[in-house]
Structure 1
Amino acid sequence: MKRPFKIRHEFVEFIPKEREDGVLYVSIAYATAVHNCFCGCRTKVVTPISPVGWQLTYDGEAVTLWPSVGNWAFPCRSHYLIKRDTVVWAGDMSEDEIAWGRARDKAARATHFHGRPGAVPELEVQTGTPQRKKGLWT
């Protein structure tokens, strides 16, 4: 697995067209954070900040973006957390785990925006709760 590494954050009103690698651009005005994928492929990664999207915290020194960023639609399939201006790599996820996470996120958005608690969408892959792969920490 790749080693964690430091990035820097920059608060901006508008996200620049030309983004610098290793920088997380945060627009409070537009409730979004954008960066070039931290794997090095330079793909633009957009993370909307909302109660049912990503949460961003700033402690006066560093930013944390939660939950993890899973670039499953990109060829690199990189997956990482941004914790206190540090990229911490996370493991790959199976297609079943990705489908389960997407369904969970869709249900959270439906509840938040349409007030339909329990509006759980059907999964394309009916697997129940995904089984995590055994990794270094388990």
Structure 2
Amino acid sequence: MMRHKRLDHRFVEHIPERLEPGILYVSMEYATSAHSCCCGCGEEVVAPFTPTDWKMTFDGETVSLRPSIGNWTLKCRSHYVIDRGKVIKAGPWSDEQVEAERRRDRAAKAHFYGQTPQVGLPAGPARLQEKPSFWRHLWTRIFGRL
């Protein structure tokens, strides 16, 4: 059961050290969001905005995040969608589903950031040496190499 059925958004430059429950902190400066887990366990949940991670939509009044938030590394293993500020509980995933999604996510990141061809797609011609994209630069500054 979700303790928080709604998240009010707060646009900030920096995510605060202490997250207030029921608030979705959004930093456009750092292209990320953070909130206290909606199940009420108090764990911090971070959702970075990148072409291979989450997308944030602001409609002038509310914020939505896609895809769902799956807290598979937390003890609570909560899973929910944030849609126009509402928290909608999503079904649990098996360990096999979580691992399959992790593999898909790693392949999508590797493909997007030019590390290796995505599984199931032809390799194609070698890339010309080009300046790294903004997202690749941001990714390597935050997380290092894939």
With the shorter chain as reference, the TM-score category is 0.7 to 0.9
Whether contact under 8 Å (2:65, 2:82) holds in the other structure is yes
Q: How many residues align?
A: 120
Distance in 2, matches of 1:115 and 1:61, equals 38
**Equivalent residue for 1:53?**
53
Superposed CA offset, 1:26-48 (max 9, x none) = 00000100000010001011111
Instruction: Decide whether aligned partners of structure 1 residues 97 and 6 sit closer, same or farther in structure 2, where only a CA change above 3 A counts.
Output: same
Distance in 1, matches of 2:17 and 2:115, equals 36
DSSP 3-state at the match of 1:18:
coil
Unmatched tracts of structure 1, length 5 or more = 121-138
Unmatched tracts of structure 2, length 5 or more = 121-146
Distance in 1, matches of 2:103 and 2:111, equals 12
- TM-score normalised by L of structure 2: 0.77
Partner amino acid, structure 2, of 1:48: P
**Equivalent residue for 1:78?**
78
Distance in 2, matches of 1:80 and 1:9, equals 16
DSSP 3-state at the match of 1:64:
strand
- TM-score normalised by L of structure 1: 0.81
Deviation, structure 1 residue 116: 3.3
Provide the alpha-carbon RMSD of the alignment.
Answer: 1.7
The higher radius of gyration belongs to: 2
Deviation, structure 1 residue 2: 5.0
